[in-house]
């Protein structure tokens, strides 16, 4: 193994945005590529890790065991033999449809590479760390932010390529509805759920691709929130019906989130949906003032009780990596 000493300054932080997964494009796969997805980086929820050289391994913070496994894998991959202090300073809720695992994995990898002056390789590290197995959006958003579309999995064992990246309108806001009492399907259960679902019709996949290419993306460029929202709502309805057998027969994992989203829809919100397997739901508003009005209505309504309803901006940049001064070791 090659020992690559850390460069100065000897502490690096990596901050990664949460992401919404707005839906898959092709669960059929008869063209040779499967999945493909559309995702959005959002502000207000983030993962932040810090790494510095240490005399012995030390891990702390929420999700530190999970982060430590990613660190161990990257140490072996990069041929590093030193010890580190790894601190998980912030995380987004796990298994909530916000991309927590991918962002944590890539943040650890990027911070470790930067600490040693090594080039970043988010796509390669994502594969090594077991991320991007279906959607490549999380990796693309870690790198670039904004709204991205990935081209799905083909024959190559690499992360799905990002085929479109568009800035999210600065005025628009995202209403994010979290249900702290539930978690979405994840891990082996997610694989089992996909395997048990009925075959996805090629005509439905064609419809979703057309909705994204010919409606959602042009509307985003033109800041036409009504057309963008209509496309996302329809895409989500098709996918929600397909996922329903794995979600208790419903389009949404959380009945409480579903009821809250219905309040938002009737009050004028656009683009109603669930991120990944949920339970987190989302909707869009054309401006901060309108988003706050909608959030206030939802929080006051009985449907909003027990939920965490947030107003978030889109984030048009990827992860931020910063050099800071090392923290003195504990005595």
H, E, C per residue of 132-157 = CCCCCHHHHHHHHCCEEEECCECCCC
167 token code pair: 């800035």
Query: 185 falls in which pLDDT band (50, 70, 90)?
Result: confident
Are residues 150 and 192 both part of a single domain? no
pLDDT of residue 3: 41
pLDDT of residue 331: 41
> Can you list the positions of beta strands (E) in 7-80?
11-26, 35-54, 58-61
pLDDT of residue 6: 59
* Domain CATH number, residue 145: 3.30.230.10
Are residues 162 and 179 both part of a single domain? no
Are residues 132 and 219 both part of a single domain? no
Q: What is the DSSP string of 149-188?
A: EE--B-SSSSPPPEEEEEPPPSS-EEEEEE-TT-----TH
Query: 188 falls in which pLDDT band (50, 70, 90)?
Result: confident
pLDDT of residue 229: 98
Using an 8 Å Cβ cutoff, are 265 and 283 in contact? yes
pLDDT of residue 330: 52
User: Any idea what the Cα angle at residue 187 is, between residues 40 and 310, rounded to 5°?
Assistant: 35
Q: What does the alpha-carbon distance between residue 108 and residue 203 come to, in Å, rounded to a whole number? A: 40
Total number of domains constituting the chain: 2
CB atoms within 10 A of CB 222: 11
Beta bridge partners of 272: none
For residue 8, is pLDDT > 90?
Answer: no
Of the candidates 82, 81, 89, 83, the one whose C-alpha atom is nearest the C-alpha of residue 60 is 89
Question: What pLDDT digit, counting tens, does each position of 101-138 carry?
Answer: 999 999 999 999 999 999 999 999 999 999 877 888 99
Are residues 104 and 212 both part of a single domain? no
Are residues 154 and 42 both part of a single domain? yes
Question: What pLDDT digit, counting tens, does each position of 77-92 carry?
Answer: 999 988 999 999 999 9
Q: What is the pTM of this model?
A: 0.92
Are residues 29 and 123 both part of a single domain? yes
Are residues 154 and 80 both part of a single domain? yes
85 CB burial (10 A radius; 0-12, 13-18, 19+) = buried
* Domain CATH number, residue 214: 3.30.70.890
Are residues 67 and 98 both part of a single domain? yes
For residue 187, is pLDDT > 50?
Answer: yes
- SS3 (DSSP) at 281: strand
Are residues 151 and 62 both part of a single domain? yes
Are residues 299 and 178 both part of a single domain? yes
Residue written as tokens 């929600």? 240
Question: What pLDDT digit, counting tens, does each position of 39-96 carry?
Answer: 999 999 999 999 999 999 999 998 899 999 999 999 999 999 889 999 999 999 988 9
Using an 8 Å Cβ cutoff, are 251 and 274 in contact? yes
Are residues 204 and 103 both part of a single domain? no
Question: Mean pLDDT in the chain?
Answer: 92
Q: Which residue range forms the structural domain that includes residue 16? A: 1-167+314-331
Question: What pLDDT digit, counting tens, does each position of 248-305 carry?
Answer: 888 999 999 999 999 999 999 999 999 998 899 999 999 999 999 999 999 999 999 9
pLDDT of residue 189: 75
For residue 4, is pLDDT > 80?
Answer: no
- SS3 (DSSP) at 231: helix
Are residues 125 and 219 both part of a single domain? no
248 token code pair: 């208790």
pLDDT of residue 1: 28
- SS3 (DSSP) at 279: coil
pLDDT of residue 21: 96
């Amino acid at each position: 193994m090659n020992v690559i000493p850390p460069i100065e300054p000897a502490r690096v932080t990596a901050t990664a945005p949460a992401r919404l997964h707005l839906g898959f494009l092709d669960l059929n796969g008869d063209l040779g590529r499967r999945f493909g997805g559309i995702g959005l980086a959002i502000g207000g929820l983030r993962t932040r890790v810090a790494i510095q050289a240490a005399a012995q391994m030390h891990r702390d913070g929420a999700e530190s065991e999970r982060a430590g496994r990613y660190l161990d894998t990257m140490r072996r991959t990069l041929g590093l033999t030193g010890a580190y202090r790894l601190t998980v300073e912030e995380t987004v809720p796990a298994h909530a449809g916000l991309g927590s695992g991918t962002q944590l994995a890539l943040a650890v990898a990027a911070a470790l590479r930067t600490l040693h002056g090594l080039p970043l390789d988010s796509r390669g590290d994502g594969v090594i760390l077991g991320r991007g197995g279906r959607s490549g959006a999380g990796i693309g958003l870690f790198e670039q932010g904004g709204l991205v579309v990935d081209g799905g999995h083909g024959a190559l064992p690499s992360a799905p390529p990002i085929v479109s990246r568009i800035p999210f309108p600065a005025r628009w806001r995202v209403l994010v509805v979290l249900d702290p009492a539930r978690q979405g399907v994840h891990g082996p259960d997610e694989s089992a759920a996909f395997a048990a679902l009925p075959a996805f019709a090629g005509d439905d996949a064609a419809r979703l691709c057309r909705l994204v290419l010919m409606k959602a993306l042009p509307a985003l460029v033109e800041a036409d929130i009504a057309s963008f929202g209509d496309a996302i709502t329809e895409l989500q309805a098709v996918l929600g019906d397909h996922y329903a057998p794995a979600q208790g027969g419903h389009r949404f994992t959380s009945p409480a989130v579903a009821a809250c989203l219905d309040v938002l829809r009737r009050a004028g919100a656009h683009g109603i949906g669930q991120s990944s397997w949920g339970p987190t739901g989302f909707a869009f508003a054309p401006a901060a003032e309108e988003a706050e009005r909608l959030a206030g209505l939802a929080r006051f309504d009985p449907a909003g009780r027990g939920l965490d309803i947030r107003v978030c901006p889109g984030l048009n940049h990827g992860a931020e990596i910063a050099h800071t001064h090392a923290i003195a070791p504990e005595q």
